[in-house]
Amino acid sequence: MTGQAGRTAALVLDRASVAYGDVPVLEELHGTVYAGEAVALIGPNGAGKSTLIKAILGLVPTVRGRIEVLGVAPAHARRDVAYVPQADTLDPDFPVSVEQVVMMGRYRRIGWLRRPSAADRAQVAEALEQVGLSGRARDRFGTLSGGQRQRVLLARAISAQPRMLLLDEPFNGVDAVSQHSLLEAIAALKARGAAVVVSTHDLAIAHLACEEVCLLNRQQFGFGPTGTVLTPERLRATYGGRALELRGDRVIVTQT
Amino acid sequence: MSLFDPFHLPFMARALAELVILGVLAGTVGVLVLLRRLAFASDTLTHTVFPGVVIGYLLGGDGGIFWGALAAGIVTAVLLTVFTHRRRVSEDAALAMLLTSLFAVGVVLVSRQTGYTSDLTAFLFGRVLTVTQEQLVQTGVVTVLVVGLLAVLRRPLMLRAFDPEGAAAAGVRVSLLDLVLNVAIALVIVAAVRAVGTILVIALLIVPAAAARALSDRLMVIVPLACLIAAAGGWLGLAVSFDASIHYGLRLASGGTIVLVLVVMYGLATLAGTVRRRVPLLQGGRAKEGARLDEPELEAAR
């Protein structure tokens, strides 16, 4: 689908409602994200940010309206979509090396039986290079810091050469170096034409890395260019008023 | 004590062969049980396979045991997969009641037999010294099938164990994969039931894998090491129980002796693992080096 100014729509939310069984989680979502752009999903805990990401992956059903990913239904787009979970949800004792984790991103291309080719290995090395962890390839995943683990998971996504990247709270508890490295790698993916969906509590990051913002709390409180949508009024509406503090012209989310 | 002489006796040789094959099977599946933290599911399976064994025995004699165990194991594996995916396993009181009931059904059924205590002991603790040629073939076939299947599925299995959400996002059919692993665990129990019994098989699944994990951080090492430890535990256990009864007049049940040998090996492996991590102090030193490496990066970030 080609929108205004010849941009390609990567993600289309068309009055979409998402539900777990009979329990509606998100209702009436409406907006478009174009290739090469990023959207920040912003809202309090329990707002349905992770659920929207799962719906884009086709793991949670769209009960009304339509979600279109790279021009097709979500479940059919998975080959070109990479998902980055929160690093601290993974078992740090798992006996797997950094390199092996990144290679998981290649599994779909390698298949079940074939050995990883030289091209697969080169992709893995390049992805690790992009997140600045080339020197840690042979270390056990669990020995890295939280921020470094998050970078490894991003490298895994990069090695899959995705056209869309989904990140669930990638900046939670991440040190400054890792945050910088994550932002750079995300910018590189966008430059290559990938669309990015990132859930975050950090409004500064939304300003820094995302063209679009989607304000969520069970329903949509705004979807559009970051500068116009991230207003104190809309944030107050999204967070229910109490969780925000205004300092001059800056809005700070004090409670997640 | 001799480690080789006893196995010139045909029944001891068959017992050894059975335990070595089972070691490979249980070692491989055990690593997945460890990684997925499925010790509880495995325990569930041992409880439900027991009545299957008894019913199989009542219906078809010795030859019925395998098929009764197989039917019960596969039914449980399917139910367990369904329950886990509907998040019902947290109702653990109900589950514990169900398991004990099924176990009791087995005990009641077997108590109607004339050789009650001897049958019960055999089903619970196994009779490795009476393993037949046919059982050896059954165990071998099950081992080849299960190890082959898990080898083919190793990538999705590893991804699912490490990152279940990431696996689902990558298009892995997680529930189907879980069913495969639960059936594989059931098959280990079924294969091991006559040799080591339904109670002791859990040790064969868990102890060698845990010992191997203590010794290495790499799966490519852990899996063969777990197989080796399980097989070595079987061999040593047999040799010790044989030696005790022949030379010291001590009757040590071979199944129990094997488990105790495995536990001793686990203790030694943990000790060796701790020493390996402490002594060179390389690991700790490397972590610090990693932190220092970050500093030039920090400069670059500014």
pLDDT greater than 80 at residue B298? no
Q: Cβ contact (<8 Å) for A176 and B290?
A: no
Give the model's pLDDT for residue A5. 58
Q: With contacts defined as CB-CB under 8 Å, which chain B residues touch A104?
A: 155, 158-159, 162-163, 166, 170
Give the model's pLDDT for residue B64. 87
CA distances to A81, A151, A170, A246, B160 from A128, rounded to whole Å, are 19, 8, 17, 39, 22
Question: Is A216 domain-assigned?
Answer: yes
CB atoms within 10 A of CB A166: 26
pLDDT greater than 70 at residue A23? yes
Mean pLDDT of chain B: 86
CATH number at residue B169: 1.10.3470.10
Give the model's pLDDT for residue A230. 87
Q: From CA A145, how far away is CA B291, in angstroms rounded? A: 9
Task: Encode pLDDT of B119-150 as tens digits.
Answer: 778 888 888 888 999 889 999 999 999 999 99
Give the model's pLDDT for residue B281. 53
Q: From CA A166, how far away is CA A49, in angstroms rounded? A: 11
pLDDT greater than 60 at residue A248? no
User: Domain span at residue A34?
Assistant: 4-94+162-253
CATH number at residue A174: 3.40.50.300
pLDDT greater than 80 at residue B194? yes
Task: Encode pLDDT of B58-86 as tens digits.
Answer: 898 888 888 999 999 999 899 888 887 77
Task: Encode pLDDT of A70-90 as tens digits.
Answer: 999 999 999 999 999 999 999
CA distances to A9, A11, A71, A210 from A68, rounded to whole Å, are 9, 6, 6, 20
Question: Is A61 domain-assigned?
Answer: yes
pLDDT greater than 80 at residue B111? yes
Task: Encode pLDDT of A207-241 as tens digits.
Answer: 889 999 999 999 999 999 998 998 888 888 888 86
Give the model's pLDDT for residue B88. 53
Domains held by chain B: number: 1
Domains held by chain A: number: 1
Q: From CA B188, how far away is CA B73, in angstroms rounded? A: 10
Q: Cβ contact (<8 Å) for A95 and B168?
A: no
Q: From CA A205, how far away is CA B57, in angstroms rounded? A: 67
Among B153, B170, B222, select the one facing A108 at the smallest CB separation.
B170
Q: From CA B190, how far away is CA B236, in angstroms rounded? A: 23
ipTM score: 0.88
pLDDT greater than 60 at residue A16? yes
Q: Cβ contact (<8 Å) for B218 and A176?
A: no
For chain A, positions 82-121, list CB contacts with chain B under 8 A. 82-83, 85, 89-91, 94-97, 101, 104, 107-108, 110, 112-113
Task: Encode pLDDT of A167-210 as tens digits.
Answer: 999 998 889 999 999 999 999 999 999 999 999 988 888 888 99
Burial-class residue B204 by CB neighbours within 10 Å (0-12, 13-18, 19+).
Answer: buried
Q: Identify the band that residue A38 occupies on the pLDDT scale cut at 50, 70 and 90.
A: very high
Give the model's pLDDT for residue B262. 95
Give the model's pLDDT for residue A49. 92
Q: From CA A66, how far away is CA A11, in angstroms rounded? A: 11
User: Domain span at residue B133?
Assistant: 5-301
Question: Is A221 domain-assigned?
Answer: yes
